[in-house]
Structure 1
Amino acid sequence: GRAQAGGDRNSACGDCAGPPRPVWSLADGARSATRVGTATQVAPAATASALWLTSYPVNAALSSTAGTAREVSLAGVPLAAPVRLPAGWVIRQATDRGLLLAPVSPQPGMTVYKLWDAAAPAASRTFDGVVAATATEIAWVANCARQCLVQVLSLATGRQAKVSLPAATTASGAFSPSGDFLALQVSPTGVIGDDGALGTRLEVASVTTGQLTAVPGSSVSNDALVGFGWPASSDSLVAEFAFATKTQLASWHPGATRPAVAVIRPNRSQAFFIVG
């Protein structure tokens, strides 16, 4: 499954933390899940064999309270001493160079993220508008005045790459397992979806060259693109599209002329698929 980088809030208190909830992990091929622990918030670790669990006192205001985070194995074994996060921040993704933190309550406009190391907090680096992150790479949108400039940083080497987009809104992104490609959901000015509403489409950029390729057949209405991601076994992008009469799962490998599409008929309890 995918770790969720958002706090579990108490709806009766608005910005207050609710009670910690059980966290379970399901290994590939396993017949049952393993209870890892309890937490208010869960985030991916820098390795696939661990998670970061963050807890807050019940009814504490998330925007002004420091959470306590601990890295644990998928069997629930603590891997290091707990760390105290800066107040008002949650973990989005653990990296090889520290924890990428997101604000609990983002303000209107561009969201600022922080790459933070508990052992050297003064050396924290900030990023505006992070759209994708892994243990080794971060992508963020630097400017969208006349064109969007997506910057990609390799945390291991410090090398930066740039991807230019036409003026557009970049909603989210995802790195391929190899780190060679970055998929982006963009809503360029003037793009109209299949039903005449404002549209969105998927673009895939080569991290090495910055070359951008539109995914064939991915221009749809904003609400039709349910999700997208990269299965861990290959650099093939998978996306889920939900239309009024059907749901489609599409798989596309960079360089292919068209995606492979499977149609899933709707039923009484339509499910969402984990696509990456």
Structure 2
Amino acid sequence: MKIEILRQLQEYIRSKSVDELKNIKPQVLKNKLGISDIELKELIDYLHDKGAMIYKYNISCLNCQSNHTIYENEIRKGNKECDECGEIINFNNYLQRASVLLLLDKNEILSLDESVDFKNYSIKKIIEIKEIRELKVIKTENKNKENNMEIFIGSSTQAANEIEEIALVVEEKGFKALPWNSRGKGVFRATNFTMENLINVADRVCAAIFIFNSDDETWYSSDNVTVKTTRDNVLFEYGLFMGKKGRNNVVFICKNKPKIASDLNGVTYIDADQPEYHMKAELKDWLASLNV
């Protein structure tokens, strides 16, 4: 692959928002860059190998026709239960008819070293292009001995929109993201009390991430001031999971600068108010440090 193609891609995405790069059709990328099918294949292979891109599969349940988005790491499970009708979706039977989108990591791509020698870069056949317009068949490889252990992601309802970006980083590093609001993943069952659910999930996962958002206002009588604080149930859940999994396997991410409880003074956390690239880099470092 020519170095000019990477430079073209970097220039193309520079003005794009992160959201605009979440659902890129391969054919659109090919046309925008003006490259051949083979060059597109090499580019996608390179980006995937560098962790700068992941695959998304759009499928429809054959039973109820509801739409599902499946991330590449989920494919290793073999199947999933349809959230709408309970039908078991066998991925082997669905991938042939799935439409495929590329999720590009803007910061990762812009940080790629342009001096890399693409001439000696080997094509690993992560994907096979039968029809470049839709990229019908995608084959993923298990690289770097990725594990499939789950990481719980907790937050308040108000901060739930932050979960997707965090889940994508978790999946990219080879773990399974288990957001608190997941449907059909056994996080909160109707027949169980919340406390029982939390304990079961804490026993089940290997680690946990909590988003500390400035959801509430708390009045401190000693100082006669009102400050923004994290929702109390999120703090409780953080303590529960830390007690179950250990301090090194639980981390919190601060958003909108909430006042941190004094008991947590000195605990290292991830600042989500810093540039997104730095936040994601710190999260990746924490994921890499997990002893699971």
Tell me if both proteins adopt one fold, taking TM over 0.5 as the criterion. Answer: no
Determine which structure has greater relative contact order: mean sequence separation of CA pairs < 8 Å that are 6+ residues apart, divided by chain length: 2
> Whose strand fraction is larger, Structure 1's or Structure 2's?
1
TM-score w.r.t. length of structure 2: 0.27
Q: Which has the larger radius of gyration?
A: 2
> Whose helix fraction is larger, Structure 1's or Structure 2's?
2
